[in-house]
Amino acid sequence: MSKQVTIKQIAQYAGVSEATVSRVLNQPELVSKQTIQKVKDGMDELQYRPSALAQSMRNHTTKTIGVVISNVLNPFFTTLVRGIEDAATKRGYSVIVCNTDENPDKEQRYINMLVDHQADGIILASTGNHANYHSMVNDMPLVFIDRMPQGKDANLYDTVLVDNEKGSFNAVDALIKQGATRVNAIVSPVATTGTERLNGFRKALTAHDFPIREQDIALDDYLGQHTAELALNLIQTNQCDALFCGNNVILMNVLKVLKEWQIGDMKLAVFDDQPWFDFVQYPIISVDQPAYLIGTKAFITLMDRLANPDRPVTHDIVRTKLVIR
């Protein structure tokens, strides 16, 4: 392994003092362009890499943020993280992605790790199982995505969310307008999103004078591990002709059931939109939530919080779009 190149070696190569090299690294505005170029040429030739730890100590920043999400395999979060990463790269930031699997213990371990490693801030899709995130992150900037924080945290932190209730209402409303006579739902009860989407489902039924039957609603975990069993039970027991799925993972498992049991006549709606929906035999009504835009907005919000730590808390609602196929 080659030895670490020192500032002294760079100074000797460039024909300047060590103090000048230090100024080029930390206060380039005090050095002439010609001298900066000589020092940079020396760094390139000697393959010098500044110590990230030393830089973070001098600048009080690690240029690193954490992104804590529930399921990286969910296409919504995959796209959202890409939006964060692209925005972060443009600003010279690195991103650490942590996957909680909706496990509050994993979530707390990851947050502790990011705090211990002095990340500049965290973007978090909360499991909803912690009552006081402030005690976990201390004064570290925190932006909530996808799910609204609960309790007093709701007034402490910036959020970038979508209107889950309105989006779900519009999707179920569209199903009924297409002729559905008994709409059932499979949603995830996790955190706030499942509750809000279920509220939208119920309000749409009420708006059309449809009865709300609790047996028409099935609750699955966020990973959709029981969707197949739940969907088959709703279809066979309730004779429903339409299903509203709380997320695209649930929808994928519903489609497997429909194919396996050769059920050809079923209206479907889902909260989320994916390109592959266009190639499914069922005309899927979807709520398109712009995951990439949510990611970029979350990063911008975090950067603004870092620059203006005392500004008022903001709650950004990103518009969804109803897609009817």
In the structure, what pLDDT confidence band is assigned to residue 1 with cuts at 50, 70 and 90? Answer: very low
CATH number of the structural domain 7-50: 1.10.260
Residue whose token pair is 């989407």: 197
For CATH 1.10.260, the residue range(s) in the chain are 7-50
Amino acid of residue 73: L
**Confidence at residue 224, expressed as pLDDT on a 0 to 100 scale:** 67
Answer with the residue of higher pLDDT: 137 or 225: 137
CA pair distance 304, 160, nearest whole angstrom: 13
CA pair distance 149, 127, nearest whole angstrom: 9
CATH number of the structural domain 64-163+291-319: 3.40.50.2300
**Confidence at residue 166, expressed as pLDDT on a 0 to 100 scale:** 97
For CATH 3.40.50.2300, the residue range(s) in the chain are 64-163+291-319, 164-288
**Confidence at residue 51, expressed as pLDDT on a 0 to 100 scale:** 62
Helix (H, G, I), strand (E, B) or coil at 78: helix
Q: Give me the CATH topology for the region 164-288.
A: Rossmann fold (3.40.50)
Average confidence (pLDDT) over 221-235: 81
CB neighbour burial string for 282-307, b if at least 16 within 10 angstroms, e if fewer: bebbbbbbbbeebbbbbbbbbbebee
Amino acid of residue 278: D
Q: pTM for the full model?
A: 0.79
